[in-house]
Structures are given as structure tokens and as C-alpha cells.
Amino acid sequence: MKESLLDILRCPMDKHELELEDAEYGENGDEIVAGTLVCVECGERYRIEDGIPNLLPPDMREETPA
Amino acid sequence: MGDRQDRSDDRSRRDTVRDTYDRIASHFASTREYAWPEVEAFVDQQTAVDEGIGLDLGCGNCRHAELLAALDGVGPVVGLDVSRGLLETGRKRAREREFAVGLVQGDAATLPLVDDCVGVGIYVATLHHLPTRESRRRSLDELARVLAPGGRALVSAWSTAHSSFDETEGFDTTIEWTLPDGETVDRFYHIYAPDEFEADLRASDLELLEWELSSGNCYATVAGDGGGGEVDAQSVDY
């Protein structure tokens, strides 16, 4: 995902902003391929997996990624 | 207690829809090559968009995100889907056809987007997979929340007007998807009665601008909760 996408992405639960942690960038530098998005309000953590953020509510997420 | 049980059933059925689409993703996407003409017509009308992103909600293989990406004036395009498998088919299509789309895994009833960010939205053939009326209404309210003032979206759902159905009232059902090897996988659908579709839209935070039946689907053009005031209600054909 592009870092600019963070401007519009929000925590699905409380709609607060997300902070990027542990970001890994792709070869050309403008794509985040892995990392974690953390809600500044509730602290819920959402993983970026293979470049796609998983922003499903916690109870719709699979416990162990396939 | 009953409420909690409903919520838990709702969740598990939505998980099932996600798992189903993860399983059938590649084959499903291969049969969804072309954009729907109703969606093309809607996108063609969106000539006055000068702010906000394009959103393909329930994007599947991103065939409609592709239309949004080609639209003048629209910002970045986001494709959101519950199924990781379908998002992968969207990534493949975007790569092959060289259009830009930001992919997000998310739930249509709990949108991970900021208020008022969407200039043009497409929400087709997705609402009917949400398993309860409460979750379907919540997703319509969420769409209203994220639509920018002046933003427009097209919402569609399968309806009892389709020739496949004899029913006249809305109902829940499962419809089989047959994989190339003959294996079948069930998908949950709520088939809307047309007047039920209209009632759910009117009960939501969306402003219903017009709606029609086409090819057995209900289609509604909507504005968000803060927009659409400039539209002359007299000119709108309900």
C-alpha cells in the first residue's frame, strides 16, 4: 500500500487515526509491504500483510493467518 | 442475551461469506471479466467530481475500480473487500491492465475510512451478502458517513424481480457456486423485494436520489448525509 493511503484509513471500530509501526518498504521505496497500523485511540493493531492492510474488525479476523 | 446471540450468528455468517469467496476467488474472478453496463452508465454521469476518492466497496476483482481509475477529477481509487483471495485477483487485474488501486481488506458494515472522503462510490452486488437487516442498514449508514458532500454512489442488490425467483417477499437463501472440478460452495444471499430495498435505503442515513430495477437487480443512486442538497427533487424520477 502507498503511505498516502493512511490519510483516509481509520480504525474500523472507533474511526480514529492509525499510526504506522514497523514499516517495511518495497524495492522502489513507495510501497509499504509489511507493518502494523495501530489505532491512536483504542490501541487495536491491524497488520499490513503482503502490501494489503487487514482492517477487518477484530472479531472478523482469522486468529492464525493462513 | 438474544441480541448477543444474533450478533454472534451475524459474525459467523459473515466469516462464512469471506471464507467462501477466499475459496472460489480465482474461478469467480475469471468469470467476472466485464464491468456491468449499469455501473458504466453511472460512472459516465459522474463528470462533476472534483474532490474525494473513488471507492469500490466489495471490489472483487476490481473491474469497477478500473472504471473509477479512468474517471477524470477523481482522486485515488480504493478497492475494499472482505476476501483476501478476491483482493489478490484485484491486484492481478490492476497489474495486467495498468491502473492504480489501493487495496484494503475490510467489512462493508464497519468501514475503515475517514468521514466525507468519497467522491464517487460503487457498492454493487455486495450488500445482499450481509446476513442481517441490521448489518445491511449499518453498512448503508457507513456509506453515508464516508461520502463527501456532493459525493455520489451507486448501490445494487439482487432482487425478487429476477426471473430466477418466484417469491415476492424478500428472503434469505444460499446459492451454490460450482468450481471447475464440479465441487459446489454455498454463498449466503438476502434477496430483496424491490419495495424492501427502497425502504431500507430511505431508513438509512443516505439520501436516495433515484432508483430502478434492471436485469433483476435494484439500483439506487445515493448521496451522503451531508450532500445532495443541490439536486432538484422535482426532476428525480422515483
Q: % helix / strand / coil in chain A, to the nearest 5?
A: 10, 45, 45
* Residue of A42, A44, A55, A63 for testing the chain B interface, max B β-carbons within 10 Å: A55
Which CATH number does B2-227 carry? 3.40.50.150
Q: Is the pLDDT of residue B136 over 50?
A: yes
What integer pLDDT is reported at residue A15 of this predicted model?
Answer: 98
Q: Which residue in chain A has the smallest CA separation from B146?
A: A8
Q: For chains A and B, what is the number of CB pairs under 8 angstroms? A: 65
Complex-level ipTM beyond the 0.90 threshold:
yes
Average pLDDT, chain B: 87
Question: Taking Cα atoms as reference points, which of B116, B113, B115, B108 lies closest to residue B155?
Answer: B108
What integer pLDDT is reported at residue B3 of this predicted model?
Answer: 65
| Cα of B141 to nearest chain A Cα, Å | 14
Give the tens place of pLDDT for each residue, B165-204.
888 899 998 888 788 888 888 888 899 999 999 999 999 9
Q: Which residue in chain B has the smallest CA separation from A50?
A: B88
Give the largest CA-CA distance in chain B.
53
Give the tens place of pLDDT for each residue, A1-52.
999 999 999 999 999 999 999 999 998 888 999 999 999 999 999 999 999 9
In terms of DSSP bridges, do strands B102-105 and B77-81 run parallel, antiparallel, or are they unpaired?
Answer: parallel
Domain locations along chain B: 2-227
What integer pLDDT is reported at residue B202 of this predicted model?
Answer: 96
Give the tens place of pLDDT for each residue, B28-81.
777 777 888 999 999 999 987 778 999 999 999 999 999 999 998 888 999 999
pLDDT band at residue B228, thresholds of 50, 70 and 90? very low
In chain A, which residues have their Cβ closer than 8 Å to the Cβ of B104? 1, 5, 9, 52-53, 55
Question: Taking Cα atoms as reference points, which of A51, A35, A36, A43 lies closest to residue A13?
Answer: A43
Domain locations along chain A: 3-56
Alpha helices in chain B (DSSP H): 2-30, 37-45, 63-69, 84-97, 133-146, 194-203
